[in-house]
Amino acid sequence: MANPARALPENLEGNFFVDSTCINCGVSRHYAPDIFGDTGSHAFVKNQPQDEQQELAAMQALLACPVGSIGMRERRDLTAARESFPIELAKHIYLNGFNHRNSYGAHSYFINSKTGNWLIDSPRFVSDLVRKFEIMGGIKYIFLTHQDDVADAHRYARHFNAVRIIHKFDSDAQKDAEMILEGKSVHHISEGEIHFTPGHTRGHMVLLWRSKFLFSGDHYAWISSSNRFGSFRDACWYSWERQIESVKKMQAFKDVEWVLPGHGKWKQVEKGQFPKIVEDSVQWMHKVR
Ligand SMILES: [Fe+2]
Protein backbone atom coordinates (compact mmCIF):
# COMPACT_ATOMS: atom_id res chain seq x y z
CA MET A 1 0.00 0.00 0.00
CA ALA A 2 1.38 3.36 -0.99
CA ASN A 3 1.92 5.74 1.89
CA PRO A 4 0.86 9.39 1.46
CA ALA A 5 3.36 10.37 4.15
CA ARG A 6 6.09 9.19 1.76
CA ALA A 7 4.59 10.77 -1.38
CA LEU A 8 7.23 12.19 -3.71
CA PRO A 9 7.42 15.99 -3.76
CA GLU A 10 7.28 15.96 -7.58
CA ASN A 11 3.67 14.67 -7.62
CA LEU A 12 1.12 17.16 -8.89
CA GLU A 13 -1.31 17.86 -6.08
CA GLY A 14 -4.48 15.77 -6.21
CA ASN A 15 -5.86 12.34 -5.47
CA PHE A 16 -3.23 10.09 -7.08
CA PHE A 17 0.35 10.01 -5.81
CA VAL A 18 3.51 7.93 -6.13
CA ASP A 19 5.54 7.28 -2.99
CA SER A 20 9.26 6.87 -2.46
CA THR A 21 9.15 3.05 -2.72
CA CYS A 22 8.86 3.35 -6.53
CA ILE A 23 11.54 1.35 -8.42
CA ASN A 24 10.98 3.26 -11.68
CA CYS A 25 10.22 0.09 -13.67
CA GLY A 26 8.14 2.14 -16.12
CA VAL A 27 4.90 0.18 -15.73
CA SER A 28 2.81 3.20 -14.65
CA ARG A 29 3.89 5.15 -17.73
CA HIS A 30 3.03 2.23 -19.99
CA TYR A 31 -0.53 2.11 -18.66
CA ALA A 32 -1.14 5.83 -18.18
CA PRO A 33 1.42 7.91 -20.07
CA ASP A 34 -0.71 11.06 -19.68
CA ILE A 35 -0.70 10.75 -15.89
CA PHE A 36 2.72 9.45 -14.88
CA GLY A 37 6.10 10.98 -15.67
CA ASP A 38 9.71 10.10 -14.90
CA THR A 39 11.89 12.10 -12.48
CA GLY A 40 14.89 10.05 -13.62
CA SER A 41 14.81 7.91 -10.49
CA HIS A 42 11.07 7.47 -9.82
CA ALA A 43 7.70 7.73 -11.50
CA PHE A 44 5.57 10.67 -10.37
CA VAL A 45 2.11 12.06 -11.06
CA LYS A 46 2.57 14.76 -13.69
CA ASN A 47 -1.17 15.19 -14.37
CA GLN A 48 -4.17 14.15 -12.32
CA PRO A 49 -6.84 12.24 -14.31
CA GLN A 50 -9.27 14.58 -16.05
CA ASP A 51 -11.91 12.10 -17.18
CA GLU A 52 -13.14 8.55 -16.57
CA GLN A 53 -10.82 7.00 -19.15
CA GLN A 54 -7.74 8.58 -17.60
CA GLU A 55 -8.92 7.62 -14.13
CA LEU A 56 -9.33 3.98 -15.24
CA ALA A 57 -5.83 4.00 -16.76
CA ALA A 58 -4.38 5.43 -13.52
CA MET A 59 -6.18 2.74 -11.51
CA GLN A 60 -4.90 0.03 -13.87
CA ALA A 61 -1.39 1.40 -13.30
CA LEU A 62 -2.00 1.31 -9.54
CA LEU A 63 -2.97 -2.37 -9.74
CA ALA A 64 -0.19 -3.28 -12.18
CA CYS A 65 2.54 -1.53 -10.14
CA PRO A 66 4.72 -4.37 -8.81
CA VAL A 67 5.67 -2.61 -5.59
CA GLY A 68 2.44 -0.86 -4.61
CA SER A 69 3.91 2.62 -4.91
CA ILE A 70 0.84 4.28 -6.40
CA GLY A 71 -1.88 5.44 -4.05
CA MET A 72 -5.03 7.51 -3.82
CA ARG A 73 -5.57 9.99 -0.99
CA GLU A 74 -9.34 9.44 -1.19
CA ARG A 75 -10.45 5.83 -1.33
CA ARG A 76 -12.25 5.01 -4.57
CA ASP A 77 -13.77 1.77 -5.80
CA LEU A 78 -11.19 -0.23 -7.78
CA THR A 79 -13.61 -2.98 -8.83
CA ALA A 80 -13.96 -1.83 -12.45
CA ALA A 81 -10.18 -1.52 -12.81
CA ARG A 82 -9.63 -4.97 -11.28
CA GLU A 83 -12.25 -6.45 -13.59
CA SER A 84 -10.63 -4.84 -16.64
CA PHE A 85 -7.73 -7.33 -16.39
CA PRO A 86 -6.61 -9.10 -18.44
CA ILE A 87 -6.90 -6.34 -21.05
CA GLU A 88 -7.54 -7.53 -24.60
CA LEU A 89 -4.92 -5.84 -26.81
CA ALA A 90 -5.88 -7.71 -29.97
CA LYS A 91 -8.26 -10.57 -30.68
CA HIS A 92 -7.39 -13.39 -28.23
CA ILE A 93 -4.24 -11.58 -27.01
CA TYR A 94 -4.32 -10.16 -23.48
CA LEU A 95 -2.17 -8.04 -21.17
CA ASN A 96 -2.39 -9.43 -17.65
CA GLY A 97 -1.49 -6.54 -15.33
CA PHE A 98 -0.67 -7.38 -11.68
CA ASN A 99 3.03 -7.20 -12.50
CA HIS A 100 5.30 -9.05 -10.11
CA ARG A 101 7.98 -7.54 -7.90
CA ASN A 102 10.25 -10.56 -8.49
CA SER A 103 10.40 -9.87 -12.23
CA TYR A 104 11.08 -6.17 -11.64
CA GLY A 105 7.59 -5.47 -12.92
CA ALA A 106 7.84 -7.30 -16.26
CA HIS A 107 4.63 -7.42 -18.28
CA SER A 108 2.99 -10.79 -18.83
CA TYR A 109 0.44 -11.86 -21.42
CA PHE A 110 -2.24 -14.45 -22.08
CA ILE A 111 -3.23 -16.09 -25.36
CA ASN A 112 -6.71 -17.51 -25.67
CA SER A 113 -6.58 -20.33 -28.22
CA LYS A 114 -8.77 -23.26 -29.20
CA THR A 115 -5.62 -25.38 -29.16
CA GLY A 116 -4.94 -24.48 -25.52
CA ASN A 117 -4.28 -21.20 -23.73
CA TRP A 118 -0.83 -19.77 -23.07
CA LEU A 119 0.55 -17.64 -20.28
CA ILE A 120 3.64 -15.69 -21.35
CA ASP A 121 5.83 -15.02 -18.30
CA SER A 122 4.04 -14.61 -15.03
CA PRO A 123 1.97 -12.02 -13.26
CA ARG A 124 1.27 -12.17 -9.53
CA PHE A 125 -0.88 -15.15 -8.59
CA VAL A 126 -4.05 -13.21 -7.75
CA SER A 127 -7.61 -14.51 -7.54
CA ASP A 128 -8.90 -11.90 -10.01
CA LEU A 129 -6.69 -13.28 -12.77
CA VAL A 130 -7.00 -16.93 -11.79
CA ARG A 131 -10.79 -16.66 -12.04
CA LYS A 132 -10.59 -14.98 -15.45
CA PHE A 133 -8.17 -17.60 -16.76
CA GLU A 134 -10.47 -20.33 -15.49
CA ILE A 135 -13.43 -18.78 -17.32
CA MET A 136 -11.35 -18.60 -20.51
CA GLY A 137 -10.47 -22.29 -20.30
CA GLY A 138 -7.41 -22.48 -18.07
CA ILE A 139 -3.75 -22.51 -19.08
CA LYS A 140 -2.08 -25.25 -21.14
CA TYR A 141 1.40 -23.75 -21.59
CA ILE A 142 3.40 -21.25 -19.59
CA PHE A 143 6.11 -19.85 -21.83
CA LEU A 144 8.99 -18.42 -19.81
CA THR A 145 11.06 -16.11 -21.99
CA HIS A 146 14.02 -16.24 -19.61
CA GLN A 147 15.16 -16.70 -16.05
CA ASP A 148 14.32 -13.21 -14.77
CA ASP A 149 10.58 -13.23 -15.28
CA VAL A 150 9.35 -16.56 -13.90
CA ALA A 151 7.69 -14.88 -10.87
CA ASP A 152 4.67 -17.01 -9.83
CA ALA A 153 4.84 -19.41 -12.81
CA HIS A 154 5.10 -22.41 -10.49
CA ARG A 155 1.83 -21.45 -8.78
CA TYR A 156 -0.02 -21.05 -12.08
CA ALA A 157 1.48 -24.34 -13.31
CA ARG A 158 0.26 -26.16 -10.20
CA HIS A 159 -3.21 -24.62 -10.26
CA PHE A 160 -3.83 -25.18 -13.98
CA ASN A 161 -1.71 -28.31 -14.47
CA ALA A 162 0.16 -26.35 -17.11
CA VAL A 163 3.42 -27.10 -18.89
CA ARG A 164 6.16 -24.58 -18.13
CA ILE A 165 8.55 -24.07 -21.04
CA ILE A 166 12.01 -22.64 -20.44
CA HIS A 167 15.43 -22.95 -22.07
CA LYS A 168 17.98 -25.21 -20.45
CA PHE A 169 20.49 -22.38 -20.04
CA ASP A 170 18.01 -20.40 -17.94
CA SER A 171 16.37 -23.35 -16.24
CA ASP A 172 18.02 -22.85 -12.86
CA ALA A 173 15.24 -20.35 -12.30
CA GLN A 174 12.62 -23.09 -12.79
CA LYS A 175 14.35 -26.40 -12.21
CA ASP A 176 11.11 -28.38 -12.12
CA ALA A 177 9.75 -26.96 -15.39
CA GLU A 178 7.83 -29.56 -17.35
CA MET A 179 9.52 -28.75 -20.69
CA ILE A 180 13.16 -27.68 -20.84
CA LEU A 181 14.22 -26.83 -24.37
CA GLU A 182 17.71 -27.09 -25.80
CA GLY A 183 19.46 -27.72 -29.07
CA LYS A 184 17.28 -26.63 -31.94
CA SER A 185 17.03 -22.90 -32.50
CA VAL A 186 13.32 -23.13 -33.37
CA HIS A 187 10.66 -25.23 -31.68
CA HIS A 188 7.11 -25.51 -32.96
CA ILE A 189 4.50 -25.98 -30.27
CA SER A 190 0.83 -25.66 -31.13
CA GLU A 191 0.50 -22.45 -33.16
CA GLY A 192 3.64 -20.97 -31.63
CA GLU A 193 7.19 -20.80 -32.89
CA ILE A 194 9.76 -20.56 -30.14
CA HIS A 195 13.06 -19.00 -31.18
CA PHE A 196 16.28 -19.13 -29.20
CA THR A 197 17.52 -15.54 -28.77
CA PRO A 198 20.53 -15.51 -26.43
CA GLY A 199 21.95 -12.16 -25.38
CA HIS A 200 19.97 -10.61 -22.56
CA THR A 201 20.48 -13.94 -20.85
CA ARG A 202 22.19 -17.09 -22.11
CA GLY A 203 18.92 -18.96 -22.50
CA HIS A 204 16.52 -16.26 -23.63
CA MET A 205 13.73 -17.26 -26.04
CA VAL A 206 10.90 -15.40 -27.78
CA LEU A 207 7.51 -16.70 -28.88
CA LEU A 208 6.22 -15.89 -32.33
CA TRP A 209 2.49 -16.55 -32.37
CA ARG A 210 0.77 -17.05 -35.72
CA SER A 211 3.62 -15.06 -37.31
CA LYS A 212 1.97 -11.83 -36.12
CA PHE A 213 2.50 -11.53 -32.37
CA LEU A 214 6.04 -11.42 -31.05
CA PHE A 215 6.32 -12.06 -27.31
CA SER A 216 9.80 -10.71 -26.97
CA GLY A 217 10.56 -10.94 -23.23
CA ASP A 218 13.58 -8.79 -22.41
CA HIS A 219 15.15 -9.40 -25.81
CA TYR A 220 13.51 -6.59 -27.78
CA ALA A 221 11.10 -3.78 -26.99
CA TRP A 222 9.90 -0.32 -27.77
CA ILE A 223 12.30 1.90 -25.81
CA SER A 224 10.37 5.06 -24.97
CA SER A 225 13.44 7.03 -23.88
CA SER A 226 15.10 6.45 -27.27
CA ASN A 227 11.84 6.53 -29.23
CA ARG A 228 12.75 3.35 -31.09
CA PHE A 229 12.72 -0.43 -31.01
CA GLY A 230 15.83 -2.15 -29.74
CA SER A 231 17.35 -3.91 -26.74
CA PHE A 232 18.32 -2.46 -23.40
CA ARG A 233 22.12 -2.09 -23.36
CA ASP A 234 22.26 -1.41 -19.62
CA ALA A 235 20.16 -4.51 -18.90
CA CYS A 236 22.11 -7.02 -20.99
CA TRP A 237 23.34 -9.68 -18.60
CA TYR A 238 24.99 -12.19 -20.96
CA SER A 239 26.40 -10.81 -24.23
CA TRP A 240 25.59 -7.66 -26.20
CA GLU A 241 27.21 -9.17 -29.33
CA ARG A 242 25.00 -12.25 -29.08
CA GLN A 243 22.00 -10.04 -28.46
CA ILE A 244 22.68 -8.08 -31.66
CA GLU A 245 22.99 -11.38 -33.56
CA SER A 246 19.71 -12.61 -32.08
CA VAL A 247 17.92 -9.38 -32.98
CA LYS A 248 19.27 -9.58 -36.53
CA LYS A 249 17.73 -13.02 -36.99
CA MET A 250 14.30 -11.49 -36.39
CA GLN A 251 14.48 -9.83 -39.82
CA ALA A 252 13.00 -13.13 -40.98
CA PHE A 253 9.83 -12.38 -38.99
CA LYS A 254 8.18 -10.61 -41.91
CA ASP A 255 4.62 -10.61 -40.64
CA VAL A 256 5.06 -9.28 -37.10
CA GLU A 257 2.44 -6.67 -36.26
CA TRP A 258 2.76 -6.59 -32.47
CA VAL A 259 5.79 -6.55 -30.18
CA LEU A 260 4.84 -7.61 -26.65
CA PRO A 261 7.83 -7.29 -24.32
CA GLY A 262 8.48 -7.93 -20.64
CA HIS A 263 10.10 -4.58 -19.99
CA GLY A 264 9.26 -1.75 -22.32
CA LYS A 265 5.93 -0.81 -23.84
CA TRP A 266 3.81 -3.17 -25.92
CA LYS A 267 3.46 -1.70 -29.39
CA GLN A 268 1.93 -2.29 -32.80
CA VAL A 269 4.02 -2.35 -35.94
CA GLU A 270 2.79 -1.37 -39.38
CA LYS A 271 2.19 -4.45 -41.53
CA GLY A 272 5.27 -5.41 -43.55
CA GLN A 273 7.57 -2.97 -41.74
CA PHE A 274 9.10 -5.27 -39.14
CA PRO A 275 12.20 -6.40 -41.11
CA LYS A 276 13.12 -2.76 -41.74
CA ILE A 277 12.53 -1.87 -38.08
CA VAL A 278 14.81 -4.72 -37.03
CA GLU A 279 17.47 -3.63 -39.50
CA ASP A 280 17.39 -0.09 -38.04
CA SER A 281 17.60 -1.53 -34.51
CA VAL A 282 20.67 -3.57 -35.42
CA GLN A 283 22.44 -0.52 -36.85
CA TRP A 284 21.61 1.46 -33.72
CA MET A 285 22.66 -1.39 -31.41
CA HIS A 286 26.07 -1.57 -33.08
CA LYS A 287 26.59 2.07 -32.06
CA VAL A 288 25.45 1.56 -28.46
CA ARG A 289 28.40 0.06 -26.66
FE1 LIG B 1 15.33 -9.90 -17.89
Ligand 1 centre to CA of 204 (Å) is 9
Determine the angle formed by the axes of helices 153-160 and 127-135, rounding to 10 degrees. Answer: 40
CB 250 within 8 A of CB 209: no
- Distances from the Cα of 277 to the Cαs of 174, 197, 221, 241, 284, in angstroms? 33, 17, 11, 19, 11
Q: How far apart are CA 189 and CA 24, in angstroms?
A: 35
Ligand 1 centre to CA of 99 (Å) is 14
Ligand 1 centre to CA of 149 (Å) is 6
The 10s digit of each residue's pLDDT in 100-130 is 999 999 999 999 999 999 999 999 999 999 9
Query: Cα dihedral sign for 114, 87, 79, 104?
Result: positive
The confidence score (pLDDT) of residue 75 equals 87
- Whether residues 122 and 262 share a domain: the answer is yes
CATH number at residue 62: 3.30.70.20
Ligand 1 (single-atom ion) residues, CB below 5 Å: 148, 218
DSSP 139-163: -SEEE--SGGG-TTHHHHHHHHT-E
- Whether residues 95 and 114 share a domain: the answer is yes
- Whether residues 116 and 14 share a domain: the answer is no
Q: Classify burial at 238, counting beta carbons within 10 Å of its beta carbon; exposed 0-12, middle 13-18, buried 19 or more.
A: middle
- Whether residues 125 and 238 share a domain: the answer is yes
- Whether residues 19 and 91 share a domain: the answer is no
Which residue blocks in the chain are alpha helix, DSSP H?
Answer: 27-31, 52-64, 79-83, 127-135, 153-160, 240-249, 274-287
Ligand 1 centre to CA of 218 (Å) is 5
Q: Does the structure show a pLDDT above 80 at 289?
A: no
Ligand 1 centre to CA of 208 (Å) is 18
Ligand 1 centre to CA of 82 (Å) is 26
Domain end among 19, 47, 75: 75
The confidence score (pLDDT) of residue 226 equals 87
Q: How far apart are CA 74 and CA 101, in angstroms?
A: 25
Domain end among 75, 96, 121: 75
Ligand 1 centre to CA of 181 (Å) is 18
Residue type, 140: K
Domain end among 40, 75, 110: 75
- Whether residues 128 and 42 share a domain: the answer is no
CATH number at residue 259: 3.60.15.10
- Whether residues 251 and 110 share a domain: the answer is yes
- Whether residues 60 and 165 share a domain: the answer is no
- Whether residues 63 and 141 share a domain: the answer is no
Domain that holds residue 50: 4-75
- Specify the number of domains making up the chain: 2
Segment 19-32 shows an average pLDDT of 96
- Whether residues 132 and 174 share a domain: the answer is yes
For residue 66, cis peptide bond before it (omega within 30 degrees of 0): no
The band of 6, judged by pLDDT with boundaries at 50, 70 and 90, is very high
- Whether residues 63 and 191 share a domain: the answer is no
The 10s digit of each residue's pLDDT in 137-175 is 999 999 999 999 999 999 999 999 999 999 999 999 999
- Whether residues 57 and 94 share a domain: the answer is no
